[in-house]
Amino acid sequence: MKTIQFREAIAEAMSEEMRRDESIYLMGEEVAEYNGAYKASKGMLDEFGPRRVIDTPISELGFAGVGVGSAMNGNRPIIEFMTFNFALVGIDQIINNAAKIRQMSGGQFDCPIVFRGPTASAGQLAATHSQAFESWYANCPGLKVVVPSNPRDAKGLLKSAIRDNDPVIFMESEQMYGDKGEVPEDEYTIPLGVAEIKREGKDVTIVSFGKIIKEAYKAADELEKEGIQCEIIDLRTVKPMDTETILTSVKKTNRLVILEEAWPFGNVATEITYQVQQKAFDYLDAPIAKINTADTPAPYSPVLLEEWLPNHEDVIRAVKKVMYK
């Protein structure tokens, strides 16, 4: 094992796959000359040259469309958005072309493309740069949605996403790029659609994904001091969702708390709640609790932003509520 930063895990995954397959290229704003807005493509221009590491104008709709068209013609593009907030400008290409072309062409065209970049909040970036769209993309048939929370998962999942023959939405975080973690020295991949139990426990199941899962770990450490053992599941892939891992855990703990950095109406936690009550209702000893942001645009004020975001204290309160403590 070696210890590397999240941004290095992303760069390694892309570089290893580009060495393996010449049809893969990276395209986006500042990915080449600047080594990536968050240095997640550092050194790649020097190794692969400007034909495979391509800087673009500020034109998300344009370069998303170029990527979709090239994917239909045998390439495997990686399209980087500086944040997924900016992907809204190119969302027509993602939803109406990438996600649908296999069906609309009667299977004549695959669309092996990865759209990647940061999601959700990253400090005081205000309302239009702090949005989490995982549930939006997961709602669209034809797309796979991946949200890793650590360097090891990021590298293994990104390699699998690049090799996948369908479009994959791969969501990172500005606030995770500097995170360090152990990553295997040898070649490895992590399959899409498989959650992982990051911490075993018997009293309550906590499901989360992405950077906000850190708040679940903090809460579990505090709750353990009070004799409450939390089982933490990292969803890793939002769609396809690994509901079996969640159901198996809930059948053991009989309680469920879901932590997600997203607006509360119609999000990923809502779908998990439905799946569990539909398939494991008789195992529940308490109503399911879900923890989200406030139902407002993200505020700029640091005081209001702290109140808007979920935190470990919210998780502790939710856990005690489902345990009737």
CB 223 within 8 A of CB 253: no
- Rounded Cα gap, residues 154 and 159, in angstroms: 9
Give me the percent of the chain exceeding a pLDDT of 90. Answer: 100
47 is known as an active-site residue = no
| pLDDT tens figures, 249-292 | 999 999 999 999 999 999 999 999 999 999 999 999 999 999 99
| pLDDT tens figures, 135-159 | 999 999 999 999 999 999 999 999 9
What is residue 303's predicted lDDT score, i.e. its pLDDT? 97
Residue in 8, 17, 29, 60 annotated catalytic: 60
| pLDDT tens figures, 110-137 | 999 999 999 999 999 999 999 999 999 9
| pLDDT tens figures, 2-14 | 999 999 999 999 9
The answer, as to whether pTM is greater than 0.85, is: yes
- Indicate the burial class of 246 (C-beta count within 10 angstroms; 0-12, 13-18, 19 or more): buried
Residue in 129, 231, 260, 261 annotated catalytic: 129
| pLDDT tens figures, 197-212 | 999 999 999 999 999 9
DSSP 275-320: HHHHHHGGG-SS--EEE---SSPPPSSHHHHHHHS--HHHHHHHHH
12 is known as an active-site residue = no
